[in-house]
């Protein structure tokens, strides 16, 4: 069988071209693979840009949250994706993440663990390393400041409770929530997670700051220490 000629979007029938379809029917008419095809512009000798995009998405379980975890090196493993195209894909995904993050940063009153998850999910769910964040609240339980306390590797990150409390005091917070992610997808707390939660609770009691919860985010799920009765047993 003869090899398929390199098929760029410009060689397609006009009605099949993602750019033209976007102009005629709007951006919402395009699939994820078609939007990615616009970013990369062309495929390889065997695949069109859309076909290549579909294959990349298939390796990410057809989930943009999973694709967001791909590194530049991961993306360049696909034939037809060089460093420039990989950077374009990663940049587009990061812009989307930041847009969603900005939308959730409007005044937010925390009423339950799901509110915490919705507020921090975008920041933490796609990471390939662990990060530890704090939400500082006022008396109405409204978030007044969000701060990344530490960043580590795949298996953990060190948390300095003194720095955490210093951040809360400097922002005149009356309430504190902490959250970190598990890139492995393991939803349950480790012994280290349990120990640091106890230390934070004790430190907050000393400083008369209400410690509401410690959330672990693993993909699209979360574990709440408060919901499990581990904050105020």
Residues 6+ apart with CB under 8 A from 150: 131, 132, 157, 158, 159, 160
For 52-56, 62-66, 96-100, 175-179, which range has the lowest pLDDT when averaged over its residues? 96-100
For 8-22, 26-40, 154-168, 173-187, which range has the lowest pLDDT when averaged over its residues? 8-22
pLDDT of residue 4: 46
CATH match for 106-224 among 3.30.200.20, 3.40.50.10540, 2.30.40.10, 3.40.140.10: 3.40.140.10
Tell me how long the chain is. 233
pTM: 0.61
Q: Is the pLDDT of residue 11 over 80?
A: no
Burial (0-12, 13-18, 19+ Cβ within 10 Å), 60:
middle
**Cα 176–chain centre separation:** 22
Q: Is the pLDDT of residue 15 over 60?
A: no
Shortest CA distance to 52 belongs to which of 85, 97, 25? Answer: 85
Q: Is the pLDDT of residue 233 over 70?
A: no
Question: Which pLDDT tens digit goes with each residue over 130-180?
Answer: 999 999 999 999 999 999 999 988 878 899 999 999 999 999 999 999 999
**What mean pLDDT comes out for the span 48-72?**
90
Q: Where are the domains positioned within the chain?
A: 9-101, 106-224
pLDDT of residue 189: 95
């Amino acid at each position: 069988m003869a090899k398929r000629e390199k098929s760029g979007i410009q060689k397609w029938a006009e009605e099949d071209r993602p750019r033209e379809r976007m102009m005629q029917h709007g951006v919402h008419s395009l699939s994820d693979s078609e939007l990615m095809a616009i970013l990369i512009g062309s495929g390889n000798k065997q695949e069109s840009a859309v076909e290549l995009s579909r294959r990349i998405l298939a390796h990410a379980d057809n989930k943009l949250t999973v694709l967001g975890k791909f590194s530049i090196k991961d993306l360049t493993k696909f034939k037809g994706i060089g460093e420039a195209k990989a950077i374009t894909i990663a940049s587009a995904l990061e812009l989307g993440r930041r847009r969603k993050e900005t939308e959730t940063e409007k005044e937010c009153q925390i009423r339950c663990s799901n509110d915490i998850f919705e507020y921090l999910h975008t920041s933490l769910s796609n990471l390939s390393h662990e990060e530890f964040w704090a939400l500082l609240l006022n008396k109405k339980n409204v978030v007044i400041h969000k701060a990344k306390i530490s960043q580590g590797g795949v298996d953990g990150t060190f948390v300095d409770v003194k720095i955490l409390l210093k951040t809360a005091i400097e922002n005149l917070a009356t309430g504190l929530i902490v959250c970190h992610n598990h890139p492995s997808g393991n939803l349950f707390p480790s012994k280290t997670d349990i120990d640091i939660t106890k230390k934070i609770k004790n430190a907050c009691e000393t400083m008369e700051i209400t410690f509401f919860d410690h959330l672990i985010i693993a993909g699209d799920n979360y574990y709440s220490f408060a919901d499990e009765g581990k904050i105020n047993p």
